[in-house]
Amino acid sequence: MSRSLGVVVPAYSPDVERLAAYVSALDDRLAPDAIRIELDAPAEGVPGALDALPATVGVSPYRRGKGAAITAGFEALDTDVRSFTDADGSTPPDSFAAVVEPVLDGRADLAAGSRRHPRATVESHQTVARRWLGEAFVQLARTLLDADLHDYQCGAKAITAEGWEQVREHLYEAGFAWDIELVAIAAALDFRIAEVPITWEDQPGSTVDPVRTSLRMGRALFAARHRAKRIRDSRLHAAIAATRDEPEALVDRK
């Protein structure tokens, strides 16, 4: 039985022409059952400029953050597989098709695109600072988490609907750290995780400041490890949790 596919594209201050071309290319390559563009705080006229695309456009008047936008998009889908890819088109449609494939055919519960996999192709390199920070983050994540990947933050992932139902209540990170939390929770729940090498090209105009966000990402990594350990019934982390007020999960926020 073939599985239905939904694609979410979170977008904040996007290049409208690039986004429109990318969504059209995704539709041509994958023919998904649904595409949702989740726009945060769009400029006047941007939603209307996307009306002709083969996609539903969800609009937030304020900046929710990447994780919150993807969560909203996944909650709105009713497909068997839910996936997302970044709006700048850094993951070409052919590579994104490779990411969703192991979930569509039942080989994995979660698939993660990887820019740092030995078989990945990087056509345009990041700055030295971004590469160094990225590599340091990967090494720390591999030490702290059960998932042994080369890349935790690549903006191309897919998950089964059943998997989403299990992880959704454990996700709290509204911003870019959502990716690492998703992987950490999936690993703690013993999901079959496939890491898929992709072709990737760094795009100009990124809304991510690597220096300003590095400390925030580090804190988020330790928070993700803490939540993963709680799922694993760690007594230590249960005791730590008992001393804290837990925030609301993303799916419970209004």
Residue 200: CATH number of its domain? 3.90.550.10
Could you read off the pLDDT of 203-246 as tens digits, one per residue? 765 555 555 667 788 888 999 999 999 999 888 888 887 888 77
pLDDT at 209: 59
Per 3-state DSSP, what percentage of the chain is helix, strand, and coil (rounded to 5)? 45, 20, 35
CA 68 to chain centre: 10
Tell me the Ramachandran region of residue 13: left when phi exceeds 0, alpha when psi lies from -120 to 50, beta otherwise. Answer: left
DSSP state, 161? H
The number of C-alpha atoms within 13 Å of 207 and in the hemisphere containing its C-beta is 15
Other residues' Cβ atoms within 10 Å of the Cβ of residue 136 = 12
The number of C-alpha atoms within 13 Å of 200 and in the hemisphere containing its C-beta is 23
This prediction's pTM: 0.92
Could you read off the pLDDT of 41-73 as tens digits, one per residue? 999 999 999 999 999 999 999 999 999 999 999
DSSP state, 85? E
Tally the domains of the chain: 1
**233: three-class secondary structure by DSSP:** coil
- Using the Cα atoms of residue 226, residue 230, residue 232 and residue 236 in order, give the sign of their dihedral: positive
**220: three-class secondary structure by DSSP:** helix
Range of the domain at 184: 5-252
